[in-house]
Amino acid sequence: MIDKKMQKKIEKILKEFFKKSTFEVDYKIGAFKENNLEVDLKTEEADVLIGPQGKTLHALQVILGRIIRKQFEDRIYLDIDINNYKQNKVKYLEEMARNIADKVALNHKPETLAVMTSYERRIIHMALAERTDIATESTGDDTERRVVINPA
């Protein structure tokens, strides 16, 4: 659990980081669940901070997470979202997964999705986990991993 003192320290770190970065960012610290701290950022420069396929956002999350973990004995991991990018991405991936799964179930032909990060693949697997008419698996190596949706 994060107490007020820890929250103030985290807010100070975020404020100093973004002040030094010259990005105008408003932030809100959200829920703390299972050592994950949600941080919602709002900015006019979201494209730059998110980067292509969310790579800059991921790097930002790693850097800020390490800075914050050095300040506390407890393991705290950040889950940063910028202008609801992650939230919208999850909705898109879940809908895409359902649509492709419906197609696979109807045609009885497997579909291989594009290369995805482990985070994105996990969303696909979880969105389709309850379905009995299809099965999902990850294939490929390293940065070439992708989800295959197979008929059951």
DSSP of 64-106, one letter per residue? Answer: HHHHHHHH-SS--EEEEEETTHHHHHHHHHHHHHHHHHHHHHH
54: which DSSP letter?
G
Identify the pLDDT of residue 99.
98
Cα distance between residue 135 and residue 121, in whole Å: 13
Residue 3 has pLDDT above 80, yes or no: no
C-beta atoms surrounding 141 within 10 Å? 6
Q: How far apart are CA 66 and CA 60, in angstroms?
A: 10
Residues 149 and 134: beta-carbon distance below 8 Å: yes
The residue-averaged pLDDT of 80-101 equals: 96
Angle CA(81)–CA(82)–CA(87) in degrees, nearest 5? 55
Residues 97-145: tens digit of each pLDDT:
999 999 999 999 999 999 998 889 999 999 999 999 999 999 999 989 9
Rounding to the nearest 10 degrees, give the CA dihedral for residues 134, 135, 141, 145.
Answer: 50
| Interatomic CA distance for residues 56 and 141, integer angstroms | 22
Phi, psi of 113 (to 5 degrees): -85, 170
Give all domains of the chain, ordered by start, each with its CATH number. Answer: 4-83 (3.30.300.20), 88-151 (3.30.1370.50)
Q: What is the pLDDT of residue 1?
A: 63
Model confidence, pTM: 0.79
pLDDT one-digit tens code per residue, 30-82: 888 888 889 999 999 999 999 998 999 999 999 999 999 898 877 888 899 99
Nearest partner of 76 among 130, 126, 9, judged by Cα: 9
What's the confidence (pLDDT) of residue 53?
A: 86
Q: What local confidence, expressed as pLDDT, does residue 72 receive?
A: 83
**Amino acid 5: pLDDT:** 85
